Structure 1
Amino acid sequence: MTFDGVGESVDPEIPFGTRLRLHRTRRGMTREVLGGMVGRSASWVKALETGRLGTPKLPLLLKLAEALRVRDLAALTGARSIPVEPFSGPGHPRLPAVRAAINAFIPLTDRPPPTLPHLRSRLRGAWRARHAAPDHREVLGALLPGLIEDAQAAVHGADGESDRRAARAALSEVYSLAQFFIAYQPAQSLLWRVCERAVVTARESDDPRALGIAAWLMTQAHRDAGDWDAADAVAEGALAHLGALMTERDSDELLSLWGALQFEAGYTAARRGESGTAWRRWDTARRVAERLPAGFYHPVTSFSKAIMGAHAVTVAVELRNGGEGVRQAMRSEAHVIPSRPRRARHRIEQARAHRSDGREGEALRLLAQAHATAPETVRYNGHARAMIIEGLRSREHRAAAGALADRVGLPA
């Protein structure tokens, strides 16, 4: 029998509490941390694990599944298979083609590889298209198969070590771009494969931009998987590497990546409930953003002056401080964020803040704004979907939640 988030054997004789404890300890979480992530106490988690409390109702089950990265509720309940997909996000129609491109073995051919300037131009265009599109996964899903194949061909066909390193840097960034498409879809093993390829290829390229981006995304992947120690290790290693380079080079690119990694370290601290560290890291990142030129906006990390207000909302929400989250949400303006998907995600974070402060109607209003900005961001965001589902259970807000559920594709 296994307890692996995918494809577990289900033995109905194993109690819910035992299953919960096994998944929690596998993720390296304390009861305090898991309880905080679902808005409950450590003693409540202990009561579940010891059987003093029975299996919670669906909304709390979904929160536990999300916190523990469980993709089938049967892994927790022992009942018949209930995929978490309706609550965590569906698979995009273009996912099979992207998966095939990533998994394909690209043989050497006589076809000339694309030139590096042409490849870089396409990559810059792909980032711009992602930020501009309301259906950004559709856009990326159409572009990625060709980009992956051509970037791999550029590495194989490079003439000399210098060109090969430059091609590897481009390939690493293509893999990073792919992570924005794959994230929050039922493709965790594929996401990890691409994440690791991005890091390895960036190291081989010896390009600080590629390595900074890959480390930034790897930090998020470890944090989202519940391995906060690994997230810290990646962030600290990348910060030290970029920090050493910054003593030699005056580069807005390196500075912005260093600032983005500072915030990610703060985000992880907030997940742990370390308020002082989280806000100190956020403030360090804010001071970095203030040093960047007016109008600077990193095309991958979104790091900029404009994003720091959004980051403050996230820190407050992750620290489970609803009142502070609302205060930060009221101070931060979404319209200054130039990226449509990132702007929509900020609206979702604002909605989380209001929801945690008991303002469910305002949370649903903000989710509607997020959907109007970038529907695919809401459709694939687990927090947004969970808030809509919870709204359906409220007599007062069922109509608003039902309208959103129809647009997102959730059963009402």
Structure 2
Amino acid sequence: MSSDASPDPFAEPIAFGQRMQILRTRRGMSRGVLAGLLGRSPSWVKQVEGGRLQMPKLPMVLRIAEALRARDLSELTGDQSRAIHLFTGPGHARLPHVRNAINEFPLTTRREAPSPVHLRERLVRAWSARHSAPNHRDVIGALLPDLIRDAQLAVLQADTAWERRAAQGLLAEAYSLSQFFIAYQPDTSLLWRVVERGMVAAQESEDPHTIGVSAWLATQAHRDSGHAHFDAADAVNLETIRYLEPLLSDAGNDVLAISGALQFEAGYTAARRGDTGTAWRYWDTARALAKRLPADYYHPVTSFSRAVMGAHAVTIAVELHAGAESVRQAAAADTATIPSRPRRARHRIEEARGYQLDGQPEAALATLDKAYEAAPETIRYNGYARRIVLEEADSKSPSQRRRASQLAVKIGVLAA
């Protein structure tokens, strides 16, 4: 190994500060950026990394883990005795079955592929089930293996160029549904395999809406990989916005909606960078596109609609670490009009982050309880929710500790 290779943060003995520096460097993050995310000074970060300050208390350790997108708390603490997953949720029981379907190719399968109409109906039902089921990973995890295999078979058996493009569009949509299932599970390579295959299938389909959906999901995958990947998120996102712009004057609702969803994602990434003006500018553009949609329209993949713009405003404010603004936007948002259970749960989690930023931990925990009621699997796999619960389980308030501990057991962070 070369002398300038970065050490393994699991190799012993490495102090907390050294682990923190290694993870920060690997994420491509400067001390100044990390300090801003933590509400501390660059000098404080330098002192912790250099060992001149001891390991912080649990609430700050959890905030550092969140900022650095640590998969497991042990990446920072070095304590391997008990895994506490943060941004990687538990592996779902159906993950191996979905993985097998993605990895296999039906090159020797003799049966006839289902018709495009039949596949389309199954995909519509699958998206509907995802939005309506509280345990949506259970539902779509059961549907995905056959959907993926049948869509692959449809591409393989297509006779004409038109049929092949249509089949590629259906396959791209099956991969999109797969990404929702695989996200935040312990198989990063599988996630990226699905992202890349979905992008290729979407481009082969030559359908603007399908291309937009695959780019929307690829943007999220890049951004969730950490600060060093924000430029990659913007590259695919903004290029797709430019591709769709000439079509918007007479576009249908689905193309308008995916364009609006991509505009919001650009604002989301800007907010993660701390660029307030750019973040809200993209949100304004997304809202203008939402206003062109019918009042009752709801995009089946992204949830983009008029109704969701209030929830998007909460997300922008939270990512900018504006606690009071987050609470104000949450009060203005009408969550009752969001029909998707997972999306409602995600909004509740963002609302809880806002309450915690504003110094209202009891309201944050109460809001996380509402997220659990809406969709238990959403909160179970959400790193922000897990961080808040763990932090409040260490609270000085007995009532907050009790409530947080009960929620921690329900979402699987702590054993009963």
Counterpart contact for 1:101–1:145, Cα < 8 Å:
yes
Counterpart contact for 2:135–2:376, Cα < 8 Å:
yes
User: What does residue 283 of structure 1 align with?
Assistant: 284
Give the match's secondary structure for 1:35: helix
**How far does the alpha carbon of each residue in 1:183-241 deviate from its partner, in whole angstroms, 9 at most, with x for none?**
11112221111111111111122111111001001111111112111111111100001
The one-letter amino acid paired with 1:237 is E
Counterpart contact for 1:87–1:386, Cα < 8 Å:
no
The one-letter amino acid paired with 1:400 is R
Residue 381 (structure 1) shift: 0.9
Counterpart contact for 1:101–1:149, Cα < 8 Å:
yes
Q: Distance in 2 between matches of 1:150 and 1:88?
A: 29
The one-letter amino acid paired with 1:23 is L
Counterpart contact for 2:263–2:283, Cα < 8 Å:
yes
The one-letter amino acid paired with 1:37 is L
Root-mean-square deviation (Å): 1.9
Structure 2 unaligned spans of 5+ = none
Give the match's secondary structure for 2:151: helix
Does residue 191 of structure 1 match 2:191? yes
Q: Distance in 1 between matches of 2:348 and 2:26?
A: 32
User: What does residue 240 of structure 1 align with?
Assistant: 242
Give the match's secondary structure for 1:85: coil
TM-score (norm 2): 0.93
**How far does the alpha carbon of each residue in 1:301-352 deviate from its partner, in whole angstroms, 9 at most, with x for none?**
1110000000000000000010100111111121110101101111111111
User: What does residue 179 of structure 1 align with?
Assistant: 179
Structure 1 unaligned spans of 5+ = none
Q: Distance in 1 between matches of 2:413 and 2:209?
A: 39
Residue 389 (structure 1) shift: 1.3
User: What does residue 405 of structure 1 align with?
Assistant: 408
The one-letter amino acid paired with 1:342 is R
User: 1:348-387 counterparts in 2 under 5 A?
Assistant: 348-387=349-388
Q: Which is worse superposed, 326-335 or 304-313? A: 326-335
Q: Distance in 1 between matches of 2:359 and 2:104?
A: 48
User: 1:4-403 counterparts in 2 under 5 A?
Assistant: 8=8, 10-80=10-80, 83-85=83-85, 88-226=88-226, 227-247=229-249, 249-394=250-395, 395-403=398-406
Q: Which is worse superposed, 83-92 or 348-357? A: 83-92
Q: Distance in 2 between matches of 1:87 and 1:242?
A: 32
Counterpart contact for 2:92–2:185, Cα < 8 Å:
yes
Give the match's secondary structure for 1:100: helix
Identical columns (%): 58
Counterpart contact for 1:73–1:81, Cα < 8 Å:
no
Q: Distance in 2 between matches of 1:86 and 1:75?
A: 10
TM-score (norm 1): 0.94
The one-letter amino acid paired with 1:215 is A
Counterpart contact for 2:73–2:85, Cα < 8 Å:
no
Residue 300 (structure 1) shift: 0.3
Q: Which is worse superposed, 323-332 or 36-45? A: 36-45
Q: Distance in 1 between matches of 2:308 and 2:231?
A: 25
Residue 23 (structure 1) shift: 2.2
Counterpart contact for 1:71–1:83, Cα < 8 Å:
no
Length, aligned pairs only: 408
